[in-house]
């Protein structure tokens, strides 16, 4: 494990716990009781309850912008069952702690990929007794705290095969025959469709800023330019852009595209490299 994780013990914390109950404060209290030097950064605790896909997107969007750290994430509808508990070391040097339900994997790809992974099954590092419905407090939080003290990963449990981990809630976009086949993995508060596609996917198709795309989503099709920001199109017009998350987004300037289309996470989005003139307006949008 990176020396800096012990010298400057930083732990990020993401969950679906909300802030109306005691759960977030209790987990942080357990962490500080084990390592009073730890610094905990709350990314969010407003993940919709049990929404692994949203949690995975938030982690994948946020962690590349965080310092190298220990990343604690708990969105765990399978708590107390036979689902595994994981600690993953990535090539950037970070360590991720959370359930083996796909939550952590999209973020590991954006941090260089998995270097080592272990199941967490050494109860010496748990808070006792372990409650079957609160592993955030009794398993994941304590393990993150012990890691911040320099406990080697291999002491936490048996080695895990990265290929055998539970699949993430969404995969990677695919290219083929002048089109990019993607999926809505998140809808933000402004109604932007955030995709599992990256800007380089369009670049590799030969699409550049200012080019016009044909977009198919939620049984609707429309033309939208690939631009830098909302103000690059008229109000009420669609656009494709590089979302601040690092993924591609499809949006309306000044309105909610999700509401207009009834689009939701899981919907397929196809982006065609259009043959229209780059200067042509996105006619056809209703």
Based on the fold, state whether residues 112 and 200 are members of the same structural domain: no
* Residue 286 maps to a domain: no
The domain in which residue 193 lies consists of: 174-273
DSSP E strand boundaries for 75-142: 85-90, 95-99, 114-119
Based on the fold, state whether residues 95 and 219 are members of the same structural domain: no
Based on the fold, state whether residues 203 and 263 are members of the same structural domain: yes
pLDDT bin (cut points 50, 70, 90) of residue 27 is very high
Based on the fold, state whether residues 191 and 94 are members of the same structural domain: no
Neighbours of 204 (CB within 10 A): 11
Neighbours of 178 (CB within 10 A): 14
Report how far residue 109's alpha carbon sits from residue 96's, in angstroms, rounded to the nearest whole number.
12
* Residue 33 maps to a domain: yes
Based on the fold, state whether residues 143 and 243 are members of the same structural domain: no
Q: What's residue 218's pLDDT? A: 86
Based on the fold, state whether residues 196 and 240 are members of the same structural domain: yes
Provide the domain count of the chain. Answer: 2
* Residue 130 maps to a domain: yes
- 109 φ, ψ (degrees, to nearest 5): -65, -35
* Residue 284 maps to a domain: no
Report how far residue 107's alpha carbon sits from residue 102's, in angstroms, rounded to the nearest whole number.
10
Among residues 164, 194, 219, the one where a domain terminates is: 164
* Residue 45 maps to a domain: yes
pLDDT bin (cut points 50, 70, 90) of residue 284 is low
What is the arithmetic mean of pLDDT over 160-175? 94
CB neighbour list of residue 187: distance below 8 Å, 6 or more residues apart: 193, 194, 258, 263, 264, 265
Among residues 164, 184, 206, the one where a domain terminates is: 164
Q: What's residue 253's pLDDT? A: 97
Based on the fold, state whether residues 103 and 40 are members of the same structural domain: yes
Among residues 164, 195, 222, the one where a domain terminates is: 164
The CATH number covering residue 66 comes to 3.40.50.10790
C-alpha 232, offset from chain centre: 27
End-to-end CA separation in angstroms for the chain: 54
Q: Residue 60: pLDDT above 70? A: yes
The CATH number covering residue 190 comes to 2.40.30.90
* Residue 138 maps to a domain: yes
Based on the fold, state whether residues 78 and 56 are members of the same structural domain: yes
Based on the fold, state whether residues 8 and 122 are members of the same structural domain: yes
Based on the fold, state whether residues 19 and 91 are members of the same structural domain: yes
Q: Residue 283: pLDDT above 50? A: no
Based on the fold, state whether residues 9 and 117 are members of the same structural domain: yes
Q: What's residue 278's pLDDT? A: 45
pLDDT bin (cut points 50, 70, 90) of residue 268 is very high
* Residue 280 maps to a domain: no
């Amino acid at each position: 494990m990176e020396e800096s994780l012990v010298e400057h013990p930083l732990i990020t914390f993401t969950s679906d716990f909300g802030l109306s109950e005691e759960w977030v404060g209790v987990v942080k209290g357990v962490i500080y009781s084990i390592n009073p030097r730890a610094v905990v950064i709350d990314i969010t605790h407003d993940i919709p309850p049990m929404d692994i896909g949203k949690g995975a997107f938030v982690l994948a969007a946020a962690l590349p912008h965080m310092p190298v750290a220990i990343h604690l994430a708990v969105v765990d509808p399978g708590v107390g069952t036979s689902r595994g508990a994981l600690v993953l070391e990535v090539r950037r040097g970070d360590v991720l702690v959370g359930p083996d339900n796909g939550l952590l994997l999209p973020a590991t790809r954006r941090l260089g990929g998995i270097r080592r992974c272990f199941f967490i099954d050494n109860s010496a590092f748990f808070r006792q007794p372990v409650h079957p419905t609160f592993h955030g407090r009794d398993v994941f939080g304590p393990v993150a705290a012990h890691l911040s003290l320099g406990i080697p990963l291999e002491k936490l449990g048996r080695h895990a095969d990265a290929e055998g981990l539970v699949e993430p809630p969404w995969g990677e976009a695919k290219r083929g025959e002048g089109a990019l086949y993607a999926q809505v993995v998140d809808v933000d508060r402004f109604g932007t469709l955030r995709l599992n596609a990256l800007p380089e996917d369009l670049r590799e198709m030969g699409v550049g800023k200012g080019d016009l795309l044909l977009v198919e989503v939620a049984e609707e099709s429309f033309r939208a330019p690939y631009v830098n920001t909302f103000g690059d199109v008229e109000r009420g017009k669609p656009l494709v852009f590089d979302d601040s998350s690092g993924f591609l987004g499809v949006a309306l300037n000044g309105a909610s595209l999700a509401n207009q289309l009834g689009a939701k996470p899981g919907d397929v989005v196809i982006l065609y490299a259009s043959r229209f003139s780059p200067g042509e307006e996105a006619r056809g949008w209703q």
